[in-house]
Structures are given as structure tokens and as C-alpha cells.
Chain A
Amino acid sequence: MLLNKIENKVITGHRLTTDDALSLFQNDDIFTIGRLANIVAGRKNGNKAYFIQNHHINPTNICINRCKFCAFSRSKGEKGAYELSIGEIIDKLKEGQESRVKSQELSKKQLKSKKKNFKLLTHNSKLLTLFSEVHIVGGLHPDWDFGFYLEMLRAIKTNFPTIHTKAFTAVEIDYFSNISGLPLTETLQELNNAGLDSMPGGGAEIFDTRVRNRICPEKISGRRWLQVMEAAHRVGISTNATMLYGHLESYKNRVEHMLKLRDLQDRTGGFQAFIPLAFHPLNTKLGVRSQGSEVSKRNKTNPQSLTPNPCLYTSGIDDLKTIAISRLFLDNFQHIKAYWIMLGEKIAQLALMFGADDLDGTIIEEKITHSAGALSGSALTRAQLINLIEKTGKIPVERDSFYNRVKR
């Protein structure tokens, strides 16, 4: 059988071809695929599953790109458009810290009264009261200049010197380079000097040009995205990589996307984690679910416009397979992240048994995915994340931004 051949490759540590990956997507045996991915995950990260205490800040939803899969962005002056000042960003981070102190005190009391032995919590008398990472991504604001972003980074570093700043997708970096007139490398160096520690992997979407032109025509090309990442890696900024799937792409597009990432990783080694992102259709131009949205109106007046088939939520089975296949194919990525905000905590938990080793974070204030009808809540506590991980038989490890264990 086809799977036998791939199984042999996996067991002997041979790299999978694009044909192998494609045949895995077409294969129905999720149990074998999951088992193999789990073997690879074990080789890379032992029995560990990571999480981080982090805080999301989306400085603005005003964006000159209006990607069709996005329910978050607004045009300037549009209802619901917002922009945060640097002072407001600092305040939000301070609030986030305080609420954590409070909720952890409460949780200790509650757990004691419930008489359950959540060992991890109770024998750690001194709980960390800070999140260790702030994650900043936002829209491409037409009026903000490059200096504003540098100032934002500096203000965060000054106020929170121990917090790691993970900020700006490749799309934003490219935009900064445009508005500052600086070459990519210098743009990145300036940001780095101002306090940018690492970069998230967003904006990759799907590299395939035809699909990309249909879902996000204004956004930088896949090639440019890869260029930005390569430049970041060369400057010494490590990044993540994502893939948005479940819209108009084919399995082949997914495999080709992953191949480009694998090739770049061979050259730079600068990617930390790969994060497959399931498309969320609500309130976007690709999904026609919510009535009265721009999409349903547009479809009424011009049924041929946009998509022939409305995009729906991906199936849970597809989510798990995509995690597993990415673990098998991306042999040079150390981590596969089951981003629970996108997948929902249930699927993210199962993903840990299909090759993923990271659930991402406790996350305060996620806005982007929730605009598109994310099925998850918008925050999980440390205790909840630990519980989810332990139920899979893995060892929960709270990490910092570089996957070092955070000691408590």
C-alpha cells in the first residue's frame, strides 16, 4: 500500500516528496497518518507539549488591504474602525498583567476549595504574574509612519523590559519598508534595534499566485513574503510561518506552499514553528454565511462575482490531517503549532495527538479570528491549557518565545 512506502520513509527518517504529501492528503487512514506524525513529533520534542502566557495587541484594524478572507479589517472612517495610541497599548498591557495577578489568586482559592489535586498549580506557591510575550499584529494603517512603530516598540521595551516582543507579519514589514523608503534589511534592523525580538508567521496565506490573486489581490505576493522572511532570518530575527487553508486552494497548493517553506528553512533555519490556519468564513467575502453582509448583497446583484462556491468551515478531520501532514513533510521545522484560537480548544487538543507540539498561548484579547466567527473562547487560563495537554498524555511545558522552559 501507498502508506507503507511513506511509513518506511518516516520510520527511517527520509524526507517526504511532494507526491508523498499529496497522497497523504488523499488518504483516508487518519489513524496511521496521525500515528506517524506523532512519532515524528516525539523525535523532535519528546513527549512535551508547549504553551506560552502571552498577550495579543492589535493596534489598529484600519488596513489598506481588504483581503477577502478577513473579517477584521476596516477602511479609515468606516464604522467600527479603531486605532490605539501608544499610551493605550501600554495601558492594555498593564491591565493584562493586573488581571492575571487577580485571576491567579482566585484560582488558587477555588482549586483548594474544590479539593481536587491539580498538582501543577498548588505546589507552585509562587506563580508567575506576568505573561512573557506580547504578540502585535495589525492592519496597514494609511497614516501611521515608520517612526510611530519604532516608538511603539521602544515604549513597550521601556515599560516591560523582560517581555519578549513578537510583532509584525511580513506584510507589515514590507509596508514599513515602503513608507520609510528603507531597504528591507535596514527596516528590519531598525525594528530590531527598537525592540522587535521575533516575528509571527502571518500573511503567508497560500503562496499560489492564482489563488492568492482571488483571495487577497492587494497583499504582497508569496515570493515577497518569502523574501521578507529570508531577510529577517539573515538579520537574526527568527519567525514563524503560517498557511491559511480551507478556502479556494487545492491540496496541491497546500503541498507547494509547504515546499517553499521547507526550501527556505533549508537555507536559513530561521523558522521556529509552522502554524496551519483553518479558514473561518463568517463575515468575510469568501464565506457567505451571515445574511446582509457585503457578500450576500454582492451575490444578489452579481451572482457570478467572487466565489462559485461559498467557503464553509473546514472539517475537523481536515484540520487534524493538515496538522499531521505538515509535521511529516516539514522535517526541518522544530515545532508545529496547533493555534487553539483558530482551531478551537477541542481540535487543538486532538492536534497534539496528530503531530503538533504547541498550543500557543493563554492569549488575552484576540480580535482577528473572532471577527470571522472563531469557535473558540477568547482566553484560556494556564490551568486550562495544562489540563488540555495532560489529558492527551503529554507533558505540559510553559515556554518562553524561544521554547525554553519557563521556570516557576
Chain B
Amino acid sequence: MKRLTKKQALTLFKSADLLGLGMMADNVRKKLHPERIVSFIIDRNINYTNVCINKCKFCAFYRNEDDPEAYILSKRNLFNKIKETISLGGTQILIQGGLHPKLDIDYYVDLLKSIKERFPIHIHGFSPPEVCYMADKANLPIKKTLQILNEAGLDSIPGGGAEILSDRIREQISPKKIGKDRWLEVMKQAHRIGMKTTATMMFGSVEEPEDIIEHLDAIRRLQDKTNGFTAFIPWSFQPGNTELGGRGKGQGARGKEFKIQNSKPNSSLATRHLSLSTATAVDYLRVLALSRIYLDNVPNIQASWVTQGIKMAQIALRFGANDFGSTMIEENVVAAAGVKYKVSVRDIISAVRSSGFHPAQRDMYYKIIKNSNL
């Protein structure tokens, strides 16, 4: 199939019907992954701190430094979490947190080294906003910062913080976060020094179709140069407990600072504007399918069961996705927005099977480490 231009992509996204778009994406997925394997990774999200100076409007996780719920994870806690991950068959940890004004690069270097000294585990960590913050504070170029982290034990970089790679939108939803160019710069430098990364997109906030295409195009262009992205992960904005989505939803809230306007959890007010302003199932599948079709140079597309639920993730496997992402032994950020889907490795395996695919455990490089008959 010939590569889609931006203009074609926009027309397709705006006018093609969902089933037609799905069929195209499914065909692309079949071509790239004819073996009907759907992979997943057993890992754990570890959030070393929730203090963050960026305070993005779509985020329900961050706290101010002086908030009673602000924390920095102790090493003891961290090591216990890693031990538990390994005992559950995990091969990777995803370390992400906030931009904490008191933490500098020495803290991170020490953190990485102390983990690698103790555990044979892949460290996937620090999204571009965190890397930039470390670099700025240490007055180092991005490349040098990445080299230091890499030497200390950082293996790969998650694609978070991309949100929508359109500065027009970023100014509205995350004005303090690094811009599109710096996000791409971090990824480019990481790829240049041999680190693999993923890329994400958070849609369903205030963006227009054009912004989504701009985002996809930025990823595709960088991938043409570096080939360092292993996967693309689109997910939809989860508005619970966020500035952007309103503070109505009471369930799952970790933040006392958000006043719960309505004490009845099922009241109509509590859920009202959530599903009005955010991406529905149809929106999610359209974006997912378009991503698969447009990103012809990115090998893997992840279904986001964390934001969509297992049944939607199963359907996503026919709308372009070939990977179920992480089993997420622990997940805090989406949960803070009131969305919790509890899932075990067994659930993921049977969910993949009942969708007509072969489940397989992989590592961050999408190498299969354990096949089907788990």
C-alpha cells in the first residue's frame, strides 16, 4: 500500500466510515503481523514521585510539593516493588514520575545504579518532559543527559508526555510542559545513542482532526530518520478529577484537594460531562485505525486496555492493534482519574485467546520470550 499523505489522512479520518477504516487497518496489521500473535509485557508502573511543577490540566495524579499526599518513593519501597514484579514473571519496570523541584540528575543516576546493582531487570523510564527537566537543572545538553542516564542503567524511554504534538493544543492543555520540538528532540537523541523508545498520543481533549494528523506525521517523519520507535500507543483523555474534565467524579479519587461536588457516585451530575466531552468508543477506534494506517514505519500499535477496558482492547485488535501493552501490576496515573480496570496476566491471556489470537509475552524490543501455552 502506498504511503498516505497528510491530506489523504485527513480526508480519510473525517469521512471514512468506521468499518471501512477498521478493515483497512486490519489489513495493514495482517500484513505486518501475519502470525496472529498478540504480544504483551509483564511489567509494573512505578511512580517515584507525584510532585510535579507542570500541573497539566488533564492530569489527576500530580500534587504540589507541600500537599499532604505528596510523596517520593523510598528505595526500600522501590526495591520491594521490583522484587514483587520479578516474582510475578515481570521483566521490566516503567519508572515515571513528576517534575520534582528537589530532585536532580544525581538522584536519578543513583536510583538507576542501585536498581541495576540488585536486579536483572529492564528499566524503561523517564518520559521526555522528565529528561528535559533533568537536563535543564543540570545545565547539560539533552544528548549528554541521556548518555549519563543510559550509562547508569536506563535501557529505554517511554513515549509519554507527547499528548498532542501540536503547540497550539499544548498551550491549552499543558502550557508548562515542553513543546513539540523538544519532545521530538529527546526522542531523536535517544534513538541516536541507540536507545529505543515508544510514542504515545493522548487525544479526546480539545484537539481537532488536523492536530491528530500533525502528531502522527511528526512521529512518522522522525521514525523515517531514526527508526527508534518500537510502538505507538494512542489513548484517550480520562477526565475524572482533572482541571480540564471537571472535578465531579468522586470514585477512585486520590486527591482531597478536589472538591467532590456531588456525593452520590452514580448521580447524573457526577458522570455528565465526562462522556460528553471525551472520546467515545467510536472515536477511539477511528484514531487507532488511522494510526495503524498512517504510521507505516512503526512496527507495533498498542491497544490501551487501561483506558478502554478489556472488551474494547479486544475489538482494538481488529482495528489495527497487535499488542496488548503492559499487564500493569501497578498503575496509578489513570487510576487517579477514576478509571480502574483490574486485570491479571491470566485475564490478558484469555482475553487475547478469545479474540482469536495467540498471546505471547514479550520484552521491550518486542522479542517473544514466552509463547502461547502459558
A contact set with B: CB distance below 8 Å: 28, 30-31, 34-35, 38, 99-100, 103, 106-107, 110, 114, 116, 118, 312-320, 344-347, 349-350, 353, 375, 377-381, 383-384, 387-388, 391-393
Q: Could you list 21 A-B pairs, sorted by A, with CB under 8 Å?
A: A99-B267, A103-B268, A103-B272, A107-B269, A110-B272, A114-B273, A315-B351, A316-B314, A317-B314, A317-B318, A317-B356, A347-B312, A347-B315, A349-B281, A350-B281, A353-B18, A375-B309, A379-B266, A380-B271, A381-B272, A391-B282
Given that A315-B355, A316-B312 are contacting pairs, would A350 and B285 also be in contact in the complex, using a CB cutoff of 8 Å?
Answer: yes
Contacts of A377 in B (CB 8 A): 266, 271
A interface: dominant SS: helix
B contact set with A: CB distance below 8 Å: 17-20, 22-23, 26, 266-269, 271-273, 275-277, 280-285, 308-315, 317-318, 347, 350-351, 354-356
**A15–chain B nearest beta-carbon distance, Å:** 24
Given that A312-B354, A344-B309, A346-B312 are contacting pairs, would A381 and B271 also be in contact in the complex, using a CB cutoff of 8 Å?
Answer: yes
Contacts of B347 in A (CB 8 A): 312
Are A313's CB and B311's CB within 8 A?
yes
Given that A28-B356, A317-B314, A388-B280 are contacting pairs, would A379 and B268 also be in contact in the complex, using a CB cutoff of 8 Å?
Answer: yes
Contacts of A384 in B (CB 8 A): 271-272, 275-276
**A318–chain B nearest beta-carbon distance, Å:** 7
Are B285's CB and A387's CB within 8 A?
no
Are A107's CB and B311's CB within 8 A?
no
Are A344's CB and B311's CB within 8 A?
yes
**A354–chain B nearest beta-carbon distance, Å:** 8
Question: In the complex, A106 Cα to B268 Cα: how many Å?
Answer: 10
- 3 closest pairs, A vs B, by CB? A316-B311, A346-B281, A103-B268
Given that A313-B310, A316-B312, A349-B282 are contacting pairs, would A34 and B276 also be in contact in the complex, using a CB cutoff of 8 Å?
Answer: no
Question: In the complex, A317 Cα to B356 Cα: how many Å?
Answer: 9
Are B315's CB and A316's CB within 8 A?
yes
Contacts of B19 in A (CB 8 A): 31, 34-35, 38, 353
Are B281's CB and A347's CB within 8 A?
yes
Are B282's CB and A318's CB within 8 A?
no
Question: In the complex, A118 Cα to B272 Cα: how many Å?
Answer: 13
Question: In the complex, A164 Cα to B367 Cα: how many Å?
Answer: 59
Question: In the complex, A388 Cα to B276 Cα: how many Å?
Answer: 8
Contacts of B267 in A (CB 8 A): 99, 103, 379
Contacts of B282 in A (CB 8 A): 349-350, 353, 391-392
Contacts of A383 in B (CB 8 A): 272, 276
Question: In the complex, A318 Cα to B309 Cα: how many Å?
Answer: 15
Given that A99-B268, A114-B273, A379-B266 are contacting pairs, would A315 and B314 also be in contact in the complex, using a CB cutoff of 8 Å?
Answer: yes
Are B314's CB and A346's CB within 8 A?
no
Closest to A315 in B: B354
Are A31's CB and B272's CB within 8 A?
no
Given that A34-B19, A346-B281, A387-B276 are contacting pairs, would A315 and B311 also be in contact in the complex, using a CB cutoff of 8 Å?
Answer: yes
**A47–chain B nearest beta-carbon distance, Å:** 12
Contacts of B318 in A (CB 8 A): 30-31, 317
Contacts of A315 in B (CB 8 A): 311, 314, 351, 354-355
Contacts of A346 in B (CB 8 A): 280-281, 284, 308-309, 311-312
Contacts of A38 in B (CB 8 A): 19
**A91–chain B nearest beta-carbon distance, Å:** 17
**A113–chain B nearest beta-carbon distance, Å:** 10
Are A31's CB and B276's CB within 8 A?
no
Are A118's CB and B276's CB within 8 A?
yes
Closest to B353 in A: A315
**B252–chain A nearest beta-carbon distance, Å:** 13
Contacts of A350 in B (CB 8 A): 18, 281-282, 285, 315
Contacts of B354 in A (CB 8 A): 312, 314-315, 318
Contacts of A345 in B (CB 8 A): 275, 280-281
Contacts of B308 in A (CB 8 A): 346
Are B269's CB and A106's CB within 8 A?
yes
Closest to A385 in B: B275
Question: In the complex, A384 Cα to B309 Cα: how many Å?
Answer: 19
Are B283's CB and A391's CB within 8 A?
yes
Question: In the complex, A349 Cα to B356 Cα: how many Å?
Answer: 22
For the A-B complex with A345-B281, A380-B275 known, give 7 more contacts whose Cβ atoms are closer than 8 Å: A35-B19, A99-B267, A100-B268, A316-B355, A317-B355, A346-B281, A353-B282
Are B266's CB and A378's CB within 8 A?
yes
Closest to A381 in B: B268
Question: In the complex, A378 Cα to B267 Cα: how many Å?
Answer: 9
**A192–chain B nearest beta-carbon distance, Å:** 33
Closest to A352 in B: B282
Given that A35-B19, A317-B314, A375-B311 are contacting pairs, would A107 and B280 also be in contact in the complex, using a CB cutoff of 8 Å?
Answer: no
Contacts of B22 in A (CB 8 A): 31
Closest to A346 in B: B281
Closest to A31 in B: B23
Closest to B317 in A: A317
Closest to B261 in A: A106
Most buried by B among A35, A316, A318, A378: A316
Contacts of B283 in A (CB 8 A): 391
